[in-house]
Amino acid sequence: MTLPRKTTEKTNHDRKTLILRGLSLLAFIAITIFVFSIRDRAAELAVYGYPGIFLVAMLSSATVLFPAPGLAIVFGMSGVFHPLGVAIAAACGAAIGEITGYLAGISGRSAVERTDIYIRLEPFVRKYGAIAIIVLAAIPNPFFDLASIAAGALKLPFWKFLLAAWTGQMIKMTAIAYAGSLSLGWLLNFP
């Protein structure tokens, strides 16, 4: 006796979903462990110019819920390199780094989904989607990791998430890079 076609298709879809969630969880854990293990050396990468800034921003954003030096590096390196170049490199790296939070959300329910702040952010991300991601990425705050998790859990299309994360990060990194460029020049020339 064979199963009806719909049941077989549903079983295959459930199996694929389970495998995707498992792989997402493994990728999230591996990236987090790697970044956490090199966190003390992340700032050293900035000496490699724009690629170094990209890597520092990516690693800083890949650490879900752990503090990292990304914004300080953007601020400081904008006194050495052109602030727009710093902003572009940092925004690209930060957007790619935020994929870990998205993957954590895809992998299923996590402990953060029971926190008060997540419970408040999730309806905002559900209602506004990519716009919520842009707004939360553009503001320097510790809650964007939770918004990334919510975006993954809500199955916001990956390309929309990545584009929105990059747009918000570009706004934030541009403001920080130009603030760093202008204020560092002023501080270094202060009488």
The answer to whether residue 54 is domain-embedded is yes
Give the C-alpha separation, 90 to 75, whole Å: 10
Q: Which tokens belong to 61?
A: 């954003």
The answer to whether residue 2 is domain-embedded is no
Give the model confidence (pLDDT) of 2-13 as tens digits.
545 555 555 665
The answer to whether residue 1 is domain-embedded is no
Give the C-alpha separation, 169 to 135, whole Å: 9
Taking each helix axis from N to C end, the angle separating 130-138 and 144-153, rounded to the nearest 10 degrees, works out to 160
The answer to whether residue 50 is domain-embedded is yes
Give the model confidence (pLDDT) of 18-48 as tens digits.
676 666 666 656 655 655 555 555 556 666 8
Q: pLDDT band for position 1 (50/70/90)? A: very low
Please state the domain count of the chain. Answer: 1
User: pTM to 2 decimals?
Assistant: 0.74
Q: Mean pLDDT throughout 167-180?
A: 95
Range of the domain at 62: 10-188
Q: pLDDT band for position 52 (50/70/90)? A: confident
The answer to whether residue 43 is domain-embedded is yes
Q: Is residue 96 scored above 70 in pLDDT?
A: yes
Nearest by Cα to 172 from 75, 56, 44? 75
176 and 141 in contact (C-beta within 8 Å)?
Answer: no
Give the C-alpha separation, 37 to 29, whole Å: 12
Nearest by Cα to 89 from 131, 59, 134? 59
The answer to whether residue 96 is domain-embedded is yes
The answer to whether residue 164 is domain-embedded is yes
The answer to whether residue 5 is domain-embedded is no
